[in-house]
Amino acid sequence: MKTPQIKHHLTDELLMAYSAGSLPEAFSLVVATHVSLCDECRARLGSFDTLGGAMLEECGSAELDAGALDATMARILEGAPQVAPKEKPRKSRGVFPGPLQDYVGGDVEAVKWKPVGMGVRQAILPTSHDASVRLLYIPAGCAVPDHGHRGTELTLVLQGAFMDEDDRFARGDVEVADEDLEHTPIADIGEDCICLAATDAPLRFRGIVPRLAQPFLKI
């Protein structure tokens, strides 16, 4: 699926933390999915990995156990690596890029949606519990409940578009929101919108009904 010009990118802080390996899994999934769609962020991520290599060279060394080299050679001669690095996902032709398909078990048609009211559906994806990530399906023209944020929230558009007070986000665009942002995103009228949204804190909804619904949303 062709991705038009992406206007909203990942921050340096997120790319650096992903490169360093310190992001929660839920955020890493959003980063990996965005980078699969965005050559600019892929190049920036490459720079942060290069910086990691330079840090590895610069940041000192720790003495190894006596016989470490022999032990490692013995490990090698035993055969296959005990810990093989994961193969990278291959290029997807669907709506969902490869890393997201790994978590869903397929493309859009494989998602097990649950209705959460007002036509909005969601599917929570299994990750470590330090943050959570879900797919959101918002019918064209519908509002996502008005909410502010605690912590950090990343929202990556995969299909359709949404708009808030300031801007429009289409496929590949990622919105990085922190506690300062209060907004009311609305799905664009043209097409139903599918987003991948990660948060490291429960959302606090401002309307009474969404607040009652919050325990059921498990977010």
Q: Is 65 in the site for another protein (CB under 8 A)?
A: yes
* Rg from Cα positions in the chain: 20
Instruction: Report how far residue 198's alpha carbon sits from residue 133's, in angstroms, rounded to the nearest whole number.
Output: 4
Backbone phi, psi, residue 132, to 5°: -130, 155
Dihedral sign from CA coordinates of 167, 10, 218, 125: positive
Q: How far is the CB of 173 from another protein (least distance, A)?
A: 17
Q: Binders of another protein among 11-30, rule CB under 8 A?
A: 12-13, 16-17, 19-22, 24-25, 28-29
Q: Is 56 in the site for another protein (CB under 8 A)?
A: yes
**Choice between 9 and 211, CB closer to another protein:** 9
Q: Is 98 in the site for another protein (CB under 8 A)?
A: yes
Instruction: Say whether 202 sits in a helix, a strand or coil.
Output: coil
Number of residues that this document lists for the chain: 219
The single residue among 1, 69, 143, 209 that binds another protein, judged by CB under 8 A, is 69
Q: Binders of another protein among 143-182, rule CB under 8 A?
A: none
Amino acid at site 69? L
DSSP 131: S
The phi-psi region of residue 79 (left if phi > 0; otherwise alpha if psi is between -120 and 50; otherwise beta) is left
Number of residues that bind another protein (CB under 8 A): 65
Q: Is 110 in the site for another protein (CB under 8 A)?
A: no
149-178 exposure pattern, b = at least 16 Cβ within 10 A, e = fewer: beebbbbbbbbbbbbbeeeebbbbbbbbbe
Q: Is 75 in the site for another protein (CB under 8 A)?
A: yes
Q: How far is the CB of 31 from another protein (least distance, A)?
A: 8
- Judge contact between 38 and 6, C-beta under 8 A: yes
Q: Is 103 in the site for another protein (CB under 8 A)?
A: yes
Q: How far is the CB of 103 from another protein (least distance, A)?
A: 7
CB 97: neighbour CB atoms within 10 A? 24
Please identify, among the stretches 69-77, 141-149, 155-163, 181-189, the one whose residues bind another protein according to the rule CB under 8 A.
69-77
Q: How far is the CB of 30 from another protein (least distance, A)?
A: 9
Q: How far is the CB of 145 from another protein (least distance, A)?
A: 26
Where along the sequence are the contacts to another protein (CB under 8 A)? Answer: 12-13, 16-17, 19-22, 24-25, 28-29, 31-33, 35-36, 42, 45-65, 68-69, 71-73, 75-76, 80-86, 88-92, 97-99, 102-103, 127-128
